[in-house]
Structure 1
């Protein structure tokens, strides 16, 4: 067991090149104690995911056999919140945008620094761990201090009542804040978690938060999202 990771993580590495798969697996095992499986294609990953669960999937974009965007869509169908880290080709901004829109949690351009790769994987594993126990796998909703966030329909509910419907971006932002409840996140941190490492949209986070707050306030749900002056934003359980 690693002090940095806590319980050993179960990780799936997807790459069309055997040497590359082995290198990524060794980088992840070096952090200590993980169980790392390796597959060579998107179809092999989907087949394995039909009967195995992982804390994190690390997929390298590449030839058609490793269609990481298709893999993202397949994983997210049905509300699966397994962490998804995509390793993209250098200078392929459009590829990163497509991956994030398809449900990837983060993208890292190749070549990359090993320590940064390990840190990003660690952050995604921590996120999955924080969400454990808060998820109803059958209905695909998350309970955060009295507010249910339903990913499939991008709704906020209290009991059986729908209190707000969100756009994709609005839902991604409130989910990031709720998963990190009690932690103050800067605009830059929120933007990176929502749009990935290449995000240049931190200036619009405040605009989307206004929309989110207004929708919650219209339904009488106040006090979930707090502004911490000169620092960032915080989601407080129970409002």
Structure 2
């Protein structure tokens, strides 16, 4: 995969780059927002993006990219691991969140998860009322209007769609999309399900307490 690492800490960038290159990824580096913008001229599969940058906010850059229609998966890094900041990052359009200090092994796993694509859902097209989800093209329409859906949100929807009318347990959904069932991943799942409902309608994802999640109302 092609990964862009954006962080103003040179030693951390070098450490992350070395680890990702050992996994076979092609890695580019940027130390600030402007360098990140220039680096995004070429196609990128995953962005690792620090919140605190010398010439701006990583969250602002994330919002900017989403507003421009760029749906590249984004992993946010921050020195503050508060729930409120996690929510801000996800609302900005990020797909995942990792607090500093972090284990390099966990970052590598999260990058792999963000870059993973489910071939089995590649040609599926689902209609739920006035909502159309085209998983092959990664296009979502609500009442004929295009809706921006992030990579992590697509992963949630794809997992639910692959189970048809059957419910998917929370742990199974977390394992499929995040690769772990930690409290942090569960918190992110709740935020993203809420965001999917705001974008596509309350009936797109149903929840049965104690049982799990499903696609549609029945």
**Short-chain TM bin:** 0.5 to 0.7
8 Å contact 1:41–1:65 — kept in the other structure?
Answer: yes
Stretches of structure 1 lacking an aligned partner (at least 5 in a row): 1-8, 135-142, 217-224
Deviation of the 1:45 alpha carbon: 0.9
2:4 aligned residue (4, 12, 36)? 12
Aligned residues: 196
What TM-score do the two structures reach when normalised by structure 1?
A: 0.62
Work out which of the residue numbers 29, 39, 43 in structure 2 matches 1:48: 39
The answer for the alignment partner of 1:182 in structure 2 is: 162
What is the CA deviation profile of residues 51-88 of structure 1, one whole-angstrom value per residue up to 9, with x for unaligned ones? Answer: 21111000122244252101111211133210100111
Q: Give unmatched runs, 5+ long, in structure 2.
A: 179-183
Find the residue that maps to 1:197 and give its secondary structure: helix
1:38 and 1:202 mapped to 2: Cα distance? 32
1:132-143 → structure 2 map (5 Å cutoff): none
1:198-213 maps to which residues of 2 (within 5 A)? 199=187, 202=190
- The residue that corresponds to 1:105 in the other structure is 95
Distance 2:191 2:77 in 1: 26
Q: Residue 197 in 1 paired to residue 176 in 2?
A: no
Residue 38 (1) aligns with residue 17 (2): no
Shift of 1:18: 1.5
1:173, 1:190 within 8 Å by CA — same for their partners in 2? no
8 Å CA contact 2:75, 2:96 repeated in 1: yes
Q: Is the 8 A contact 1:85 1:106 kept in 2?
A: yes
Instruction: Rate the CA distance shift 1:87–1:229 in 2: closer, same or farther, 3 A.
Output: closer
How far apart in 2 are the matches of 1:178 and 1:200? Answer: 15
C-alpha change, 1:130 and 1:185, in structure 2 (3 Å) is same
Structure ID, larger Rg? 1
SS in structure 2 at match of 1:29: helix
Between 93-102 and 196-205, the greater mean CA deviation after superposition: 196-205
Q: Compute the TM-score of the two structures, normalised by the length of structure 2.
A: 0.67
Please report how far the alpha carbon of residue 13 of structure 1 lies from its aligned counterpart in structure 2 after TM superposition: 0.2
Mapping for residues 81-100 of structure 1, pairs under 5 Å: 81-100=71-90
- The separation in 1 between residues aligned to 2:191 and 2:50, in whole angstroms, is 30
What do the CA deviations read for 1:163-202 (whole angstroms, capped 9, x no partner)?
Answer: 8999x99x999744323331574336768969x6371775
C-alpha distance 156-28 of structure 1, shift in aligned 2 (>3 A): same
Q: CA deviation at 1:98?
A: 1.5
The answer as to whether partners of 1:100 and 1:106 remain within 8 angstroms in 2 is: yes
Return the alpha-carbon distance in structure 2 between the equivalents of residues 191 and 165 of structure 1.
27
Alignment RMSD = 4.5
Determine if contact 1:176/1:190 at 8 Å carries over to the other structure: no
Alpha-carbon contact 1:61-1:87 (below 8 Å) kept? yes
